[in-house]
Structure 1
Amino acid sequence: MTTQIAAPSSFSNLPPSALTDKVVVIFGGTSGIGLSAAIQAKAAGANVIVIGNDRTRAQQAAEKYGFEWRTADVTQSEAVYDALKEIPKVDHLVLLAGTFVAAKVLDGDVTYMRRAFEERVWASVHAIRALNERLSKDGSITFISGVLADRPNAQGTAVLAAASAAMEAFARGLALELAPIRVNTLSPGHVETPLLHKVLGDARDSVLPAMAASTPLKRLGTPEEAGAATVFLMANGWMNGTTLHIDGGVSLI
Protein backbone atom coordinates (compact mmCIF):
# COMPACT_ATOMS: atom_id res chain seq x y z
CA MET A 1 0.00 0.00 0.00
CA THR A 2 1.45 3.37 -1.01
CA THR A 3 0.43 6.56 0.73
CA GLN A 4 -0.55 9.25 -1.75
CA ILE A 5 0.28 12.80 -0.71
CA ALA A 6 -1.45 15.71 -2.36
CA ALA A 7 -0.87 19.41 -1.94
CA PRO A 8 -3.70 21.19 -0.09
CA SER A 9 -5.85 23.63 -2.04
CA SER A 10 -5.36 26.66 0.22
CA PHE A 11 -3.39 28.07 3.12
CA SER A 12 -5.88 30.66 4.33
CA ASN A 13 -4.82 30.05 7.94
CA LEU A 14 -1.26 31.24 7.28
CA PRO A 15 -0.04 34.83 7.04
CA PRO A 16 0.06 35.71 3.31
CA SER A 17 3.85 36.01 3.12
CA ALA A 18 4.94 33.70 5.96
CA LEU A 19 6.86 31.31 3.71
CA THR A 20 6.95 33.20 0.41
CA ASP A 21 10.47 33.04 -1.04
CA LYS A 22 11.83 31.51 2.18
CA VAL A 23 14.43 28.76 1.90
CA VAL A 24 13.23 25.60 3.64
CA VAL A 25 15.58 22.63 4.10
CA ILE A 26 13.96 19.37 5.16
CA PHE A 27 16.02 16.38 6.21
CA GLY A 28 13.80 13.35 5.70
CA GLY A 29 11.83 15.29 3.11
CA THR A 30 11.56 12.52 0.52
CA SER A 31 8.75 10.45 2.07
CA GLY A 32 6.03 10.44 4.71
CA ILE A 33 5.65 13.47 6.96
CA GLY A 34 8.73 15.17 5.55
CA LEU A 35 7.55 14.90 1.96
CA SER A 36 4.11 16.20 2.87
CA ALA A 37 5.66 19.13 4.74
CA ALA A 38 7.85 19.85 1.70
CA ILE A 39 4.85 19.81 -0.65
CA GLN A 40 2.86 22.12 1.59
CA ALA A 41 5.76 24.51 2.15
CA LYS A 42 6.26 24.69 -1.60
CA ALA A 43 2.54 25.42 -2.06
CA ALA A 44 2.89 28.22 0.49
CA GLY A 45 5.59 29.87 -1.62
CA ALA A 46 8.80 28.50 -0.15
CA ASN A 47 11.91 27.41 -2.01
CA VAL A 48 12.27 23.85 -0.76
CA ILE A 49 15.37 21.65 -0.56
CA VAL A 50 14.79 18.05 0.47
CA ILE A 51 17.54 15.82 1.83
CA GLY A 52 17.17 12.05 1.99
CA ASN A 53 19.41 9.02 2.26
CA ASP A 54 18.18 7.46 -0.99
CA ARG A 55 19.44 9.25 -4.09
CA THR A 56 16.81 7.88 -6.47
CA ARG A 57 13.89 8.69 -4.18
CA ALA A 58 15.22 12.20 -3.50
CA GLN A 59 15.64 12.91 -7.21
CA GLN A 60 12.20 11.56 -8.07
CA ALA A 61 10.51 13.64 -5.36
CA ALA A 62 12.36 16.75 -6.48
CA GLU A 63 11.45 16.28 -10.12
CA LYS A 64 7.81 15.56 -9.33
CA TYR A 65 7.21 18.47 -6.95
CA GLY A 66 9.75 21.07 -8.03
CA PHE A 67 12.22 20.87 -5.13
CA GLU A 68 15.96 21.05 -5.00
CA TRP A 69 17.48 17.91 -3.54
CA ARG A 70 20.51 16.48 -1.79
CA THR A 71 21.41 13.10 -0.31
CA ALA A 72 23.02 12.38 3.04
CA ASP A 73 23.27 9.64 5.63
CA VAL A 74 22.56 11.76 8.70
CA THR A 75 24.64 9.46 10.92
CA GLN A 76 27.72 10.59 8.98
CA SER A 77 28.72 14.12 9.95
CA GLU A 78 30.74 14.66 6.78
CA ALA A 79 27.70 13.84 4.66
CA VAL A 80 25.58 16.35 6.57
CA TYR A 81 28.15 19.12 6.11
CA ASP A 82 28.56 18.27 2.44
CA ALA A 83 24.80 18.37 1.79
CA LEU A 84 24.53 21.86 3.29
CA LYS A 85 27.77 23.49 2.21
CA GLU A 86 26.53 25.17 -0.99
CA ILE A 87 23.28 26.61 0.39
CA PRO A 88 23.86 30.35 0.95
CA LYS A 89 21.06 30.89 3.46
CA VAL A 90 18.41 28.79 5.23
CA ASP A 91 15.30 30.33 6.73
CA HIS A 92 13.73 27.15 8.09
CA LEU A 93 15.61 23.97 8.94
CA VAL A 94 13.46 20.88 9.49
CA LEU A 95 15.02 17.69 10.83
CA LEU A 96 12.65 14.75 10.45
CA ALA A 97 15.06 12.00 9.41
CA GLY A 98 15.18 8.86 11.51
CA THR A 99 14.45 5.16 11.48
CA PHE A 100 12.51 3.05 13.97
CA VAL A 101 15.25 1.76 16.26
CA ALA A 102 13.87 -1.08 18.38
CA ALA A 103 15.98 -3.40 20.55
CA LYS A 104 15.82 -4.59 24.14
CA VAL A 105 18.46 -2.97 26.34
CA LEU A 106 19.61 -6.25 27.89
CA ASP A 107 20.33 -8.07 24.65
CA GLY A 108 20.18 -5.57 21.78
CA ASP A 109 23.21 -4.49 19.77
CA VAL A 110 24.53 -1.29 21.36
CA THR A 111 25.90 0.08 18.10
CA TYR A 112 22.47 -0.30 16.55
CA MET A 113 20.73 1.33 19.53
CA ARG A 114 23.12 4.29 19.36
CA ARG A 115 21.61 5.05 15.96
CA ALA A 116 18.49 6.47 17.64
CA PHE A 117 20.61 9.28 19.06
CA GLU A 118 22.91 9.59 16.03
CA GLU A 119 19.96 10.10 13.68
CA ARG A 120 18.28 12.64 15.91
CA VAL A 121 20.42 14.50 18.43
CA TRP A 122 23.84 14.36 16.78
CA ALA A 123 22.56 14.76 13.23
CA SER A 124 20.81 17.94 14.42
CA VAL A 125 23.95 19.19 16.12
CA HIS A 126 25.97 18.71 12.94
CA ALA A 127 23.33 20.33 10.70
CA ILE A 128 23.08 23.40 12.93
CA ARG A 129 26.85 23.72 13.21
CA ALA A 130 27.23 23.26 9.45
CA LEU A 131 24.86 26.13 8.71
CA ASN A 132 25.86 28.37 11.63
CA GLU A 133 25.54 31.99 10.51
CA ARG A 134 23.67 30.90 7.38
CA LEU A 135 20.63 30.19 9.54
CA SER A 136 18.32 33.17 9.33
CA LYS A 137 17.88 34.97 12.64
CA ASP A 138 14.15 35.35 12.00
CA GLY A 139 13.77 31.74 10.92
CA SER A 140 13.22 28.45 12.70
CA ILE A 141 14.41 24.94 13.41
CA THR A 142 11.94 22.08 13.76
CA PHE A 143 12.75 18.71 15.30
CA ILE A 144 10.66 15.55 15.54
CA SER A 145 10.07 13.44 18.64
CA GLY A 146 6.99 11.24 18.89
CA VAL A 147 4.44 9.76 21.24
CA LEU A 148 7.07 7.42 22.71
CA ALA A 149 8.61 10.42 24.47
CA ASP A 150 5.55 10.53 26.73
CA ARG A 151 4.25 6.97 26.44
CA PRO A 152 7.11 4.44 26.19
CA ASN A 153 6.33 0.74 25.94
CA ALA A 154 8.01 -2.57 26.71
CA GLN A 155 8.59 -3.55 23.08
CA GLY A 156 12.25 -2.62 22.78
CA THR A 157 11.68 1.10 22.37
CA ALA A 158 13.29 2.43 25.57
CA VAL A 159 16.30 3.92 23.78
CA LEU A 160 14.15 5.37 20.99
CA ALA A 161 11.83 6.87 23.61
CA ALA A 162 14.85 8.43 25.32
CA ALA A 163 16.09 9.89 22.03
CA SER A 164 12.62 11.29 21.29
CA ALA A 165 12.37 12.92 24.71
CA ALA A 166 15.90 14.27 24.25
CA MET A 167 14.84 16.14 21.13
CA GLU A 168 12.15 17.99 23.07
CA ALA A 169 14.60 19.02 25.80
CA PHE A 170 17.20 19.91 23.15
CA ALA A 171 14.71 22.20 21.41
CA ARG A 172 13.87 24.03 24.63
CA GLY A 173 17.53 24.62 25.38
CA LEU A 174 18.34 25.74 21.85
CA ALA A 175 15.38 28.15 21.82
CA LEU A 176 17.32 30.06 24.47
CA GLU A 177 20.82 29.41 23.17
CA LEU A 178 20.09 30.35 19.55
CA ALA A 179 17.52 33.12 20.15
CA PRO A 180 16.01 34.83 18.23
CA ILE A 181 15.98 31.73 15.99
CA ARG A 182 12.87 29.78 16.97
CA VAL A 183 13.22 26.09 17.84
CA ASN A 184 10.27 23.70 18.20
CA THR A 185 9.50 20.00 18.16
CA LEU A 186 6.75 18.10 16.36
CA SER A 187 5.47 15.10 18.30
CA PRO A 188 3.29 12.92 16.07
CA GLY A 189 1.36 9.86 17.17
CA HIS A 190 0.51 6.94 14.91
CA VAL A 191 0.78 8.33 11.38
CA GLU A 192 0.35 6.04 8.39
CA THR A 193 3.63 6.51 6.58
CA PRO A 194 5.90 4.30 4.44
CA LEU A 195 8.16 3.96 7.49
CA LEU A 196 5.31 2.57 9.59
CA HIS A 197 4.41 0.12 6.82
CA LYS A 198 8.06 -0.97 6.60
CA VAL A 199 8.34 -1.47 10.36
CA LEU A 200 5.16 -3.56 10.52
CA GLY A 201 6.00 -5.60 7.42
CA ASP A 202 3.62 -8.45 6.65
CA ALA A 203 1.75 -7.84 9.91
CA ARG A 204 0.54 -4.39 8.90
CA ASP A 205 -2.87 -5.50 7.62
CA SER A 206 -3.75 -6.86 11.04
CA VAL A 207 -1.85 -4.36 13.21
CA LEU A 208 -2.94 -1.09 11.57
CA PRO A 209 -6.67 -1.57 12.33
CA ALA A 210 -5.82 -2.40 15.95
CA MET A 211 -3.65 0.70 16.21
CA ALA A 212 -6.44 2.83 14.80
CA ALA A 213 -8.99 1.33 17.18
CA SER A 214 -6.77 2.14 20.16
CA THR A 215 -6.87 5.90 19.48
CA PRO A 216 -9.61 8.27 20.71
CA LEU A 217 -10.40 9.23 17.10
CA LYS A 218 -10.42 5.57 15.95
CA ARG A 219 -8.07 6.24 13.07
CA LEU A 220 -4.44 6.84 12.25
CA GLY A 221 -3.07 10.23 11.37
CA THR A 222 -2.12 11.15 7.82
CA PRO A 223 1.17 12.54 6.53
CA GLU A 224 -0.77 15.58 5.32
CA GLU A 225 -1.98 16.37 8.83
CA ALA A 226 1.47 16.02 10.37
CA GLY A 227 3.01 17.89 7.44
CA ALA A 228 0.60 20.79 7.97
CA ALA A 229 1.63 20.94 11.62
CA THR A 230 5.27 21.12 10.53
CA VAL A 231 4.48 24.03 8.21
CA PHE A 232 2.61 25.73 11.04
CA LEU A 233 5.70 25.56 13.26
CA MET A 234 7.73 27.17 10.49
CA ALA A 235 5.22 29.86 9.59
CA ASN A 236 3.95 30.98 13.00
CA GLY A 237 6.50 33.44 14.35
CA TRP A 238 5.23 33.18 17.93
CA MET A 239 5.80 29.43 18.30
CA ASN A 240 9.05 28.90 20.15
CA GLY A 241 10.54 26.37 22.54
CA THR A 242 7.47 24.17 22.49
CA THR A 243 6.41 20.66 21.55
CA LEU A 244 3.39 20.42 19.28
CA HIS A 245 1.52 17.17 19.84
CA ILE A 246 -0.41 15.90 16.84
CA ASP A 247 -1.49 12.45 17.94
CA GLY A 248 -5.28 12.36 17.85
CA GLY A 249 -5.37 12.37 21.63
CA VAL A 250 -3.25 9.23 22.14
CA SER A 251 -1.17 11.00 24.80
CA LEU A 252 -4.32 11.38 26.90
CA ILE A 253 -4.95 7.67 27.37
Structure 2
Amino acid sequence: MKFTTDPAMFLASQSLEGKTVLIFGGTSGIGLATAIQAKAAGASVVVIGSDLARSERIATEHGLEWRAADITDTEAVEAALKDIGHVDHLVLMAGSFVAGKILETDTHYLRRAFDERIWGALDVIRTLDQRLDQRASVTFISGVLAERPNAWGTAVLAAASAAMEALARGLVLELAPRRFNTLSPGTTDTPLLGRTLGDALGGYVTELSARLPLKKIVPMQQAAAAVMFLIQNDFMNGETLHIDGGQRLV
Protein backbone atom coordinates (compact mmCIF):
# COMPACT_ATOMS: atom_id res chain seq x y z
CA MET A 1 0.00 0.00 0.00
CA LYS A 2 1.33 3.40 -1.00
CA PHE A 3 1.08 6.28 1.45
CA THR A 4 1.44 9.97 0.73
CA THR A 5 2.38 12.96 2.85
CA ASP A 6 1.08 15.42 0.25
CA PRO A 7 -1.06 17.93 2.24
CA ALA A 8 -3.10 18.78 -0.87
CA MET A 9 -4.21 15.18 -1.23
CA PHE A 10 -5.11 15.03 2.46
CA LEU A 11 -7.17 18.21 2.24
CA ALA A 12 -8.95 16.87 -0.82
CA SER A 13 -9.89 13.78 1.17
CA GLN A 14 -11.70 16.04 3.66
CA SER A 15 -14.05 17.33 0.98
CA LEU A 16 -17.60 16.03 1.06
CA GLU A 17 -18.22 16.71 -2.63
CA GLY A 18 -20.60 14.10 -4.02
CA LYS A 19 -21.51 12.81 -0.54
CA THR A 20 -24.92 12.79 1.09
CA VAL A 21 -25.18 13.70 4.77
CA LEU A 22 -28.45 12.87 6.55
CA ILE A 23 -29.04 14.62 9.88
CA PHE A 24 -31.85 13.82 12.30
CA GLY A 25 -32.30 16.78 14.59
CA GLY A 26 -30.80 18.89 11.82
CA THR A 27 -33.09 21.91 12.08
CA SER A 28 -31.70 23.32 15.33
CA GLY A 29 -28.64 23.47 17.56
CA ILE A 30 -25.65 21.23 16.90
CA GLY A 31 -27.51 19.39 14.14
CA LEU A 32 -28.21 22.55 12.16
CA ALA A 33 -24.69 23.89 12.72
CA THR A 34 -23.36 20.57 11.39
CA ALA A 35 -25.65 20.77 8.36
CA ILE A 36 -24.33 24.23 7.51
CA GLN A 37 -20.70 23.10 7.86
CA ALA A 38 -21.29 19.91 5.84
CA LYS A 39 -22.90 21.90 3.03
CA ALA A 40 -19.91 24.26 3.06
CA ALA A 41 -17.67 21.20 2.64
CA GLY A 42 -19.57 20.26 -0.52
CA ALA A 43 -22.08 17.72 0.76
CA SER A 44 -25.69 17.29 -0.24
CA VAL A 45 -27.43 17.67 3.12
CA VAL A 46 -30.83 16.37 4.18
CA VAL A 47 -32.12 17.56 7.54
CA ILE A 48 -34.98 15.96 9.44
CA GLY A 49 -36.78 17.78 12.22
CA SER A 50 -39.79 16.88 14.30
CA ASP A 51 -41.88 19.89 13.29
CA LEU A 52 -42.97 20.13 9.64
CA ALA A 53 -43.35 23.91 9.39
CA ARG A 54 -40.10 24.63 11.21
CA SER A 55 -38.20 22.03 9.17
CA GLU A 56 -39.35 23.59 5.90
CA ARG A 57 -38.58 27.12 7.06
CA ILE A 58 -35.10 26.39 8.40
CA ALA A 59 -34.10 24.18 5.48
CA THR A 60 -35.29 26.73 2.93
CA GLU A 61 -33.38 29.48 4.73
CA HIS A 62 -30.13 27.50 4.50
CA GLY A 63 -30.65 25.81 1.13
CA LEU A 64 -30.99 22.31 2.56
CA GLU A 65 -33.18 19.37 1.59
CA TRP A 66 -35.59 18.47 4.37
CA ARG A 67 -38.10 16.01 5.80
CA ALA A 68 -40.13 15.99 9.03
CA ALA A 69 -40.60 13.05 11.42
CA ASP A 70 -40.77 12.30 15.12
CA ILE A 71 -37.85 9.90 15.58
CA THR A 72 -39.89 7.91 18.15
CA ASP A 73 -42.55 7.14 15.51
CA THR A 74 -41.33 4.21 13.41
CA GLU A 75 -43.91 4.71 10.67
CA ALA A 76 -43.10 8.43 10.42
CA VAL A 77 -39.38 7.63 10.15
CA GLU A 78 -40.04 5.08 7.41
CA ALA A 79 -42.18 7.57 5.50
CA ALA A 80 -39.58 10.33 5.79
CA LEU A 81 -36.82 8.05 4.52
CA LYS A 82 -38.83 6.35 1.80
CA ASP A 83 -37.39 8.39 -1.07
CA ILE A 84 -33.93 8.94 0.42
CA GLY A 85 -31.33 7.28 -1.77
CA HIS A 86 -27.73 6.53 -0.90
CA VAL A 87 -26.47 7.95 2.43
CA ASP A 88 -22.73 8.41 3.06
CA HIS A 89 -22.89 9.96 6.52
CA LEU A 90 -25.67 9.66 9.10
CA VAL A 91 -25.82 12.05 12.05
CA LEU A 92 -28.33 11.45 14.85
CA MET A 93 -28.72 14.55 17.00
CA ALA A 94 -32.45 14.23 17.81
CA GLY A 95 -33.36 14.18 21.47
CA SER A 96 -35.11 16.37 24.00
CA PHE A 97 -34.12 17.11 27.58
CA VAL A 98 -36.03 14.37 29.39
CA ALA A 99 -35.74 15.00 33.11
CA GLY A 100 -37.63 13.98 36.21
CA LYS A 101 -36.91 12.18 39.46
CA ILE A 102 -37.73 8.50 39.18
CA LEU A 103 -40.02 8.35 42.23
CA GLU A 104 -42.01 11.39 41.11
CA THR A 105 -42.20 11.27 37.31
CA ASP A 106 -44.37 9.23 34.95
CA THR A 107 -42.16 6.45 33.61
CA HIS A 108 -43.86 6.66 30.20
CA TYR A 109 -42.38 10.15 29.91
CA LEU A 110 -38.96 9.03 31.13
CA ARG A 111 -38.89 6.24 28.53
CA ARG A 112 -38.72 8.90 25.85
CA ALA A 113 -35.03 9.41 26.67
CA PHE A 114 -34.34 5.91 25.35
CA ASP A 115 -37.00 6.06 22.62
CA GLU A 116 -35.46 9.18 21.10
CA ARG A 117 -31.93 7.86 21.30
CA ILE A 118 -31.47 4.07 21.30
CA TRP A 119 -34.68 2.93 19.61
CA GLY A 120 -34.86 5.96 17.34
CA ALA A 121 -31.30 5.36 16.12
CA LEU A 122 -31.99 1.69 15.47
CA ASP A 123 -35.18 2.48 13.55
CA VAL A 124 -33.28 4.87 11.29
CA ILE A 125 -30.42 2.44 10.65
CA ARG A 126 -32.77 -0.49 10.03
CA THR A 127 -34.95 1.59 7.70
CA LEU A 128 -31.98 2.78 5.64
CA ASP A 129 -30.47 -0.73 5.58
CA GLN A 130 -28.34 -1.07 2.43
CA ARG A 131 -28.91 2.56 1.46
CA LEU A 132 -26.45 3.38 4.24
CA ASP A 133 -23.10 3.08 2.50
CA GLN A 134 -20.89 0.17 3.51
CA ARG A 135 -18.20 2.71 4.42
CA ALA A 136 -20.61 5.19 5.98
CA SER A 137 -19.98 7.09 9.18
CA VAL A 138 -22.71 7.20 11.81
CA THR A 139 -22.50 9.78 14.59
CA PHE A 140 -24.56 9.53 17.77
CA ILE A 141 -24.84 12.07 20.58
CA SER A 142 -24.51 11.45 24.30
CA GLY A 143 -23.42 14.19 26.70
CA VAL A 144 -21.51 15.04 29.83
CA LEU A 145 -24.25 13.45 31.97
CA ALA A 146 -23.03 10.03 30.80
CA GLU A 147 -19.93 10.54 32.95
CA ARG A 148 -21.14 13.05 35.52
CA PRO A 149 -24.80 12.44 36.41
CA ASN A 150 -26.41 14.66 38.99
CA ALA A 151 -29.22 14.46 41.54
CA TRP A 152 -31.57 16.83 39.70
CA GLY A 153 -33.72 14.26 37.93
CA THR A 154 -31.39 13.35 35.09
CA ALA A 155 -30.61 9.72 36.00
CA VAL A 156 -32.57 8.25 33.08
CA LEU A 157 -31.16 10.76 30.59
CA ALA A 158 -27.65 9.99 31.86
CA ALA A 159 -28.32 6.27 31.37
CA ALA A 160 -29.63 6.83 27.83
CA SER A 161 -26.56 8.94 27.00
CA ALA A 162 -24.17 6.28 28.27
CA ALA A 163 -26.14 3.66 26.34
CA MET A 164 -25.53 5.53 23.08
CA GLU A 165 -21.78 5.25 23.61
CA ALA A 166 -22.05 1.52 24.25
CA LEU A 167 -24.33 1.06 21.23
CA ALA A 168 -21.80 2.76 18.98
CA ARG A 169 -19.02 0.44 20.12
CA GLY A 170 -21.19 -2.63 19.59
CA LEU A 171 -22.30 -1.58 16.12
CA VAL A 172 -18.68 -1.02 15.07
CA LEU A 173 -18.33 -4.79 15.21
CA GLU A 174 -21.82 -5.82 14.12
CA LEU A 175 -22.09 -3.53 11.09
CA ALA A 176 -18.44 -3.24 10.02
CA PRO A 177 -16.94 -1.65 7.99
CA ARG A 178 -19.36 1.20 8.70
CA ARG A 179 -17.98 3.54 11.37
CA PHE A 180 -19.85 4.46 14.54
CA ASN A 181 -18.84 7.24 16.92
CA THR A 182 -20.47 9.33 19.62
CA LEU A 183 -20.18 13.04 20.28
CA SER A 184 -20.29 13.88 23.99
CA PRO A 185 -20.73 17.63 24.40
CA GLY A 186 -20.77 19.56 27.60
CA THR A 187 -23.39 22.20 28.26
CA THR A 188 -23.79 23.81 24.84
CA ASP A 189 -25.18 27.17 23.77
CA THR A 190 -28.18 25.88 21.81
CA PRO A 191 -31.87 26.79 21.53
CA LEU A 192 -32.68 23.60 23.49
CA LEU A 193 -30.78 24.96 26.48
CA GLY A 194 -32.78 28.17 26.28
CA ARG A 195 -36.10 26.34 26.02
CA THR A 196 -35.19 24.09 28.93
CA LEU A 197 -34.10 26.84 31.32
CA GLY A 198 -36.28 29.73 30.20
CA ASP A 199 -35.74 32.84 32.33
CA ALA A 200 -33.15 31.00 34.43
CA LEU A 201 -30.78 30.64 31.45
CA GLY A 202 -28.59 33.65 32.12
CA GLY A 203 -28.00 32.91 35.78
CA TYR A 204 -27.35 29.23 35.12
CA VAL A 205 -24.78 29.90 32.39
CA THR A 206 -23.01 32.52 34.51
CA GLU A 207 -22.82 30.22 37.54
CA LEU A 208 -21.73 27.19 35.54
CA SER A 209 -19.15 29.09 33.50
CA ALA A 210 -17.47 30.28 36.68
CA ARG A 211 -16.83 26.65 37.66
CA LEU A 212 -15.60 25.44 34.26
CA PRO A 213 -11.90 25.25 33.37
CA LEU A 214 -12.41 27.38 30.24
CA LYS A 215 -14.92 29.68 31.99
CA LYS A 216 -17.49 29.28 29.22
CA ILE A 217 -19.94 26.73 27.85
CA VAL A 218 -19.53 25.07 24.46
CA PRO A 219 -20.41 27.12 21.33
CA MET A 220 -22.57 24.95 19.08
CA GLN A 221 -20.35 25.71 16.07
CA GLN A 222 -17.42 24.09 17.90
CA ALA A 223 -19.56 21.04 18.70
CA ALA A 224 -20.55 20.84 15.03
CA ALA A 225 -16.89 21.04 14.01
CA ALA A 226 -16.29 17.98 16.20
CA VAL A 227 -19.06 16.13 14.35
CA MET A 228 -17.37 17.07 11.08
CA PHE A 229 -14.12 15.59 12.38
CA LEU A 230 -15.90 12.31 13.13
CA ILE A 231 -17.41 12.34 9.65
CA GLN A 232 -14.22 13.15 7.78
CA ASN A 233 -11.57 11.17 9.64
CA ASP A 234 -11.75 7.60 8.34
CA PHE A 235 -9.98 6.17 11.38
CA MET A 236 -12.33 7.49 14.02
CA ASN A 237 -14.32 4.39 14.91
CA GLY A 238 -15.92 3.28 18.16
CA GLU A 239 -14.88 6.51 19.86
CA THR A 240 -16.61 8.90 22.21
CA LEU A 241 -15.36 12.39 21.42
CA HIS A 242 -15.65 14.70 24.42
CA ILE A 243 -16.12 18.35 23.58
CA ASP A 244 -16.86 19.84 26.96
CA GLY A 245 -13.91 22.08 27.78
CA GLY A 246 -13.12 19.84 30.74
CA GLN A 247 -16.63 20.02 32.27
CA ARG A 248 -16.64 16.31 33.06
CA LEU A 249 -13.60 16.85 35.29
CA VAL A 250 -15.19 19.35 37.69
Gaps of 5+ in 1: 1-11
**SS of alignment partner, residue 16 of structure 1:** helix
- Counterpart for residue 11 of structure 2: 15
CA distance in 1 between counterparts of 2:79 and 2:11 reads: 33
Residue 234 of structure 2: which of 211, 217, 237 is its match? 237
- Counterpart for residue 108 of structure 1: 105
Does 2:181 align with 1:184? yes
- Counterpart for residue 210 of structure 1: 207
Q: CA deviation at 1:217?
A: 0.2
What is the identity, as a one-letter code, of the residue corresponding to 1:180?
Answer: P
Structure number with greater Rg is: 2
CA distance in 2 between counterparts of 1:60 and 1:53 reads: 13
- Counterpart for residue 72 of structure 2: 75
CA distance in 2 between counterparts of 1:225 and 1:44 reads: 16
Q: CA deviation at 1:219?
A: 0.4
CA distance in 2 between counterparts of 1:72 and 1:184 reads: 23
TM-score norm. by structure 1 comes to 0.93
| Superimposed CA distance per residue, residues 182-203 of structure 1 (whole angstroms, 9 cap, x where no aligned partner) | 0000000011100001110111
What is the identity, as a one-letter code, of the residue corresponding to 2:193?
Answer: L
What is the identity, as a one-letter code, of the residue corresponding to 2:183?
Answer: L
Residue 127 of structure 1: which of 115, 124, 127 is its match? 124
- Counterpart for residue 191 of structure 2: 194
Q: CA deviation at 1:58?
A: 1.1
| Superimposed CA distance per residue, residues 161-191 of structure 1 (whole angstroms, 9 cap, x where no aligned partner) | 0000000000000011110000000000011
Residue 52 of structure 1: which of 49, 54, 59 is its match? 49
- Counterpart for residue 29 of structure 1: 26
CA distance in 2 between counterparts of 1:235 and 1:83 reads: 26
CA distance in 2 between counterparts of 1:132 and 1:171 reads: 16
Q: CA deviation at 1:15?
A: 3.1
CA distance in 2 between counterparts of 1:59 and 1:17 reads: 31
**SS of alignment partner, residue 210 of structure 1:** helix
**SS of alignment partner, residue 15 of structure 1:** helix
Gaps of 5+ in 2: 1-7
- Counterpart for residue 147 of structure 2: 150
Q: Structure 1 vs Structure 2: percent identity of aligned residues?
A: 59
- Counterpart for residue 223 of structure 1: 220
Does 2:246 align with 1:249? yes
Deviates more, 1:89-98 or 1:199-208: 199-208
TM-score norm. by structure 2 comes to 0.94
CA distance in 1 between counterparts of 2:214 and 2:78 reads: 41
Residue 59 of structure 2: which of 58, 62, 78 is its match? 62
- Counterpart for residue 168 of structure 1: 165
Q: CA deviation at 1:252?
A: 1.8
**SS of alignment partner, residue 121 of structure 1:** helix
Question: How many pairs align?
Answer: 241
CA distance in 2 between counterparts of 1:77 and 1:194 reads: 26
CA distance in 2 between counterparts of 1:185 and 1:236 reads: 13
**SS of alignment partner, residue 187 of structure 2:** coil
* Superposition misfits of 4+ residues, deviation over 4 angstroms: none
CA distance in 2 between counterparts of 1:126 and 1:136 reads: 16
